[in-house]
Amino acid sequence: MYDVEEIRAQFPILSREINGVPLVYLDNGASAQKPQVVIDAITRGYAHEYSNVHRGLHTLSTISTERYEGTRDVVRKFLGAASQEEIILNTGTTEGINMVAHGWAMPRMEPGDEIVLSIMEHHANIVPWHFLRERQGVVIKWVDVDANGDLDPQAVIDAIGPKTKLVAVTHMSNVLGTVVDVKAICDGARAKGVPVLVDGSQAAVHMPVDVQEIGCDFYAITGHKLYGPSGSGAIYARRERMAEMRPFMGGGDMIDQVTRDTVTYNVPPMKFEAGTPSIVSTIGMGVALDWMMGVGMENIAAHERRLRDHAIGRFKGLNWLDIQGTSAGKGAIFSLSIEGGAHAHDISTVLDKKGIAVRAGTHCAMPLMAHLGLGATCRASFGLYNTEAEIDRLVEALELCHELFA
């Protein structure tokens, strides 16, 4: 039994008012709110248990290290990885993808080598590859979506040529809500001997993920979207890929021995975790993931499907509302615009006056927005604590926008 009101009661911020009315938080695609258990873990970490991790022999360092390293195993379970040694802790998806770009791709790519991307990618899964294009002459090959916003896995596989060194693809579009069949892409790419990186920033929030079943080589997640703290994240790297990677940054626990003339590196995954990590944020992420698994990822997915279907039903009656992305299996993410030219920022401002938080702009997906012929949209993205009544309030506010801007 999914008790959304009991879940909402665990998020202190959801009880506040904005502009004199109860908050409706629909900006989860950008960053999710935090349950009390995560807030308590952060407070405890700083107030009662804080110390640097690893190599310290005193009590506080031991406690911090145990909690920090405990997160690695939580991530392993959350992603279905075979071993803790396949989990690199970091500050989020952006760092994780840059780590792969600089540590794995850069040393093995020559001018003319190719990376295959979908047009739906977030900038975090575009810009690191542009670095390689600028600096090493790497070619980016783009695969478009169809009119519904679906990405054909076979089109991605067909784009893989003899010079393709990597496929990098989102698991769920942060603009369209499209869920990509990444397993089919990984199966096809593996048959051609090409590794696959999956950006799981959106998908891992909304559905169960099993990296072994998917068959990917890399899978990146970010804590702040997973009801955890900002500055936390992780990337799964298949053991053989991790063995091929060179360190991304130097210093701290990533070293084994340093002399005047040489340096040797720690074993993976420590080899890729330089400097003092984001200790308390990482601990908080582990608590958040544990909490989500306690709610049940299948339960969360089912609840959000209900929200999606309710929203689609309500939006159907608004013939002046344009929705980007109509994939049959999409997640509960809706990019909206109102016919007549009302700017997304104006719509967002009116919604805010009604206590409704949405995102307005290009959503860090400019190539996709250009493909759609749009300058900006309003995005309402739902989470595990949202309700059908909040969708009804969103529709009422959109109707007001239509009246104001028509």
What is the model's pLDDT at position 56?
87
CA distances from residue 185 to 109, 167, 169, 193, 328 in whole angstroms, order as listed? 21, 9, 9, 12, 19
CATH class as words, domain 4-30+296-405: alpha beta
**Dist. CA 32–CA 167, nearest whole Å:** 28
Listed residue (269, 268, 263, 252) closest to 55, CA to CA: 252
Whole-number Å distance between alpha carbons of 27 and 379: 7
Mean pLDDT of all residues in 171-178: 98
* Per-residue pLDDT tens digits for 95-152: 999 999 999 999 999 999 999 999 999 999 999 999 999 999 999 999 999 999 999 9
pLDDT for 218 equals 99
Mean pLDDT, rounded, for 213-232:
98
Task: Please report, for residues 185, 226, 338, the alpha-carbon distance to residue 120 in angstroms, rounded to integers and kept in the order given.
Answer: 15, 21, 22
Amino acid at 290: D
Helix (H, G, I), strand (E, B) or coil at 164: strand
Give yes or no for a contact between 168 and 104, defined as CB atoms under 8 angstroms apart: no
* Catalytic site includes residue 401: no
Rounded Cα gap, residues 73 and 225, in angstroms: 19
DSSP secondary structure code for residue 26 in this structure: -
Angle at CA 46, nearest 5°, toward 42 and 50?
A: 120
| Rounded distance between C-alpha atoms, residue 399 and residue 210, angstroms | 41
Domain at 39-294, CATH class: alpha beta
* pLDDT of 10 above 90: yes
From CA 132, how far away is CA 113, in angstroms rounded? 10
Percent of the residues in the chain that have a pLDDT greater than 90, as a whole number: 98
Please give the average per-residue pLDDT across 8-13, as a whole number. Answer: 98
Please tell me the distance from the alpha carbon of residue 187 to that of residue 113, in angstroms, as a whole number.
21
Q: Grade residue 226 by pLDDT with cuts at 50, 70 and 90.
A: very high
Catalytic residue among 186, 216, 364, 401: 364
**118 with 156: CB under 8 angstroms?**
yes
* pLDDT > 90? residue 341: no
Q: If DSSP codes are grouped into helix, strand and coil, which group holds residue 172?
A: strand
Pairing of the two strands 333-338 and 377-381: antiparallel
d(CA 34, CA 154): 38
What tokens were used for 38?
A: 């995560």
- Whether the pLDDT of residue 340 is over 90: the answer is no
Q: Is the pLDDT of residue 406 over 90?
A: no
Phi, psi of 66 (to 5 degrees): -60, -40
Q: For 294-301, what is the mean pLDDT?
A: 98
| Position 94 pLDDT exceeds 90 | yes
Per-residue b/e over 365-386, b at no fewer than 16 CB within 10 Å?
bebbbeebebebbbbbbbbbbb
Structure tokens at 58: 């005193």
Strand spans (E) along 14-157? 17-18, 21-22, 24-25, 87-90, 114-118, 139-143
Domain with CATH 3.90.1150.10 in the chain: 4-30+296-405
Q: Is 82's pLDDT higher than 90?
A: yes
Joined tokens for residue 57: 């022999």
The length of the chain is: 406
Q: How confident is the model at residue 321 (pLDDT cuts 50, 70, 90)?
A: very high
The C-alpha atoms of residue 362 and residue 165 are separated, in whole angstroms, by 29
The ranges of the chain annotated as CATH 3.40.640.10 are 39-294
Q: Which is it for strands 164-170 and 114-118: parallel, antiparallel or unpaired? A: parallel
